Amino acid sequence: MAESDRLPPTVGALPQHILRAQIQGRVWGQACILQQERLDPMLHGYYKLDDLKLQPKTTDLPLAPEAFVEMVKCQCKSNCTSNRCSCKRKNLPCTDLCLCSTNFDNDEDTLNQDDSDG
Protein backbone atom coordinates (compact mmCIF):
# COMPACT_ATOMS: atom_id res chain seq x y z
CA MET A 1 0.00 0.00 0.00
CA ALA A 2 1.26 3.47 -0.85
CA GLU A 3 2.26 5.96 1.80
CA SER A 4 -0.28 8.80 1.81
CA ASP A 5 2.40 11.48 1.63
CA ARG A 6 3.77 9.88 -1.55
CA LEU A 7 0.44 9.82 -3.41
CA PRO A 8 -0.08 12.43 -6.12
CA PRO A 9 -2.52 15.27 -5.37
CA THR A 10 -6.08 14.93 -6.62
CA VAL A 11 -8.45 17.33 -8.34
CA GLY A 12 -10.45 17.59 -5.09
CA ALA A 13 -7.33 18.54 -3.12
CA LEU A 14 -6.34 21.45 -5.37
CA PRO A 15 -9.02 24.00 -4.29
CA GLN A 16 -8.36 23.29 -0.61
CA HIS A 17 -4.60 23.66 -1.11
CA ILE A 18 -5.12 26.98 -2.91
CA LEU A 19 -7.27 28.27 -0.03
CA ARG A 20 -4.60 27.33 2.51
CA ALA A 21 -1.90 28.89 0.32
CA GLN A 22 -3.89 32.16 0.32
CA ILE A 23 -3.47 32.36 4.09
CA GLN A 24 0.27 31.71 3.84
CA GLY A 25 0.64 34.26 1.04
CA ARG A 26 -1.26 36.86 3.07
CA VAL A 27 1.02 36.30 6.10
CA TRP A 28 4.17 36.56 4.01
CA GLY A 29 2.86 39.59 2.11
CA GLN A 30 2.12 41.42 5.35
CA ALA A 31 5.26 40.31 7.20
CA CYS A 32 6.42 43.90 7.73
CA ILE A 33 3.02 45.20 8.85
CA LEU A 34 2.41 45.39 12.59
CA GLN A 35 -1.39 44.86 12.45
CA GLN A 36 -1.99 42.21 9.80
CA GLU A 37 -5.39 41.62 8.24
CA ARG A 38 -6.06 37.97 8.97
CA LEU A 39 -8.13 35.63 6.83
CA ASP A 40 -10.63 33.32 8.49
CA PRO A 41 -9.04 29.85 8.36
CA MET A 42 -12.48 28.21 8.50
CA LEU A 43 -13.20 29.77 5.09
CA HIS A 44 -9.76 28.97 3.72
CA GLY A 45 -9.25 25.21 3.76
CA TYR A 46 -9.32 24.37 7.48
CA TYR A 47 -11.82 22.87 9.93
CA LYS A 48 -11.85 22.66 13.72
CA LEU A 49 -11.17 19.35 15.40
CA ASP A 50 -12.71 19.12 18.88
CA ASP A 51 -12.94 22.94 19.04
CA LEU A 52 -9.23 23.02 19.85
CA LYS A 53 -7.12 22.42 16.78
CA LEU A 54 -7.34 23.53 13.19
CA GLN A 55 -6.91 20.70 10.71
CA PRO A 56 -6.42 21.09 6.96
CA LYS A 57 -9.36 20.03 4.84
CA THR A 58 -7.67 17.73 2.36
CA THR A 59 -10.37 17.46 -0.30
CA ASP A 60 -13.82 18.69 -1.18
CA LEU A 61 -14.72 15.42 -2.90
CA PRO A 62 -15.80 12.15 -1.28
CA LEU A 63 -12.87 10.00 -0.19
CA ALA A 64 -14.20 7.06 -2.20
CA PRO A 65 -16.75 6.68 -4.97
CA GLU A 66 -20.29 6.22 -3.67
CA ALA A 67 -20.35 2.69 -5.09
CA PHE A 68 -17.51 1.68 -2.76
CA VAL A 69 -19.07 3.36 0.25
CA GLU A 70 -22.36 1.57 -0.31
CA MET A 71 -20.71 -1.73 -1.18
CA VAL A 72 -22.35 -4.57 0.66
CA LYS A 73 -20.35 -7.42 2.08
CA CYS A 74 -21.78 -10.03 4.36
CA GLN A 75 -20.16 -11.44 7.45
CA CYS A 76 -21.93 -14.78 7.44
CA LYS A 77 -20.19 -17.63 9.21
CA SER A 78 -22.24 -20.30 7.44
CA ASN A 79 -24.31 -20.41 4.28
CA CYS A 80 -26.00 -17.32 2.91
CA THR A 81 -29.46 -18.70 2.25
CA SER A 82 -31.45 -16.76 4.84
CA ASN A 83 -32.35 -13.07 4.89
CA ARG A 84 -29.89 -12.60 7.74
CA CYS A 85 -27.28 -12.39 4.98
CA SER A 86 -26.98 -8.69 4.04
CA CYS A 87 -26.18 -9.58 0.42
CA LYS A 88 -29.23 -11.82 0.01
CA ARG A 89 -31.42 -9.25 1.77
CA LYS A 90 -30.42 -6.64 -0.85
CA ASN A 91 -30.76 -9.20 -3.65
CA LEU A 92 -27.03 -9.07 -4.40
CA PRO A 93 -24.65 -11.98 -4.96
CA CYS A 94 -21.92 -12.68 -2.43
CA THR A 95 -18.48 -11.60 -3.64
CA ASP A 96 -14.86 -12.20 -2.73
CA LEU A 97 -15.13 -9.31 -0.24
CA CYS A 98 -17.68 -11.23 1.81
CA LEU A 99 -16.52 -13.07 4.90
CA CYS A 100 -18.66 -16.13 4.20
CA SER A 101 -17.16 -19.39 2.99
CA THR A 102 -15.89 -19.59 -0.55
CA ASN A 103 -18.76 -21.93 -1.49
CA PHE A 104 -21.26 -19.17 -2.15
CA ASP A 105 -24.84 -20.23 -1.52
CA ASN A 106 -25.86 -16.76 -2.65
CA ASP A 107 -24.15 -16.45 -6.03
CA GLU A 108 -25.57 -14.91 -9.20
CA ASP A 109 -26.94 -18.24 -10.45
CA THR A 110 -28.87 -18.78 -7.22
CA LEU A 111 -30.30 -15.26 -7.40
CA ASN A 112 -31.41 -15.82 -11.00
CA GLN A 113 -33.09 -19.13 -10.04
CA ASP A 114 -34.97 -17.41 -7.21
CA ASP A 115 -36.22 -14.73 -9.62
CA SER A 116 -37.46 -17.28 -12.15
CA ASP A 117 -39.20 -19.35 -9.42
CA GLY A 118 -41.27 -16.56 -7.99
- Which tens digits make up the pLDDT trace of 25-46? 999 999 999 998 999 999 999 9
The Cα–Cα gap between 11 and 87 comes to: 33
Q: What average pLDDT is seen over the chain?
A: 78
Low-confidence winner among 29-38, 57-66, 79-88, 99-108 (lowest mean pLDDT): 99-108
Give a three-class secondary structure readout of 74-107: CCCCCCCCCCCCHHHHCCCCCCCCCCCCCCCCCC
For the chain, the domains span 10-56, 62-118
Q: Which residues contact 97 (CB under 8 A, 6 or more apart)?
A: 71, 73
pTM of the predicted model as reported, rounded to 2 decimal places: 0.51
CB count within 10 Å of CB 70 equals 9
- One-letter amino acid at 60 equals D
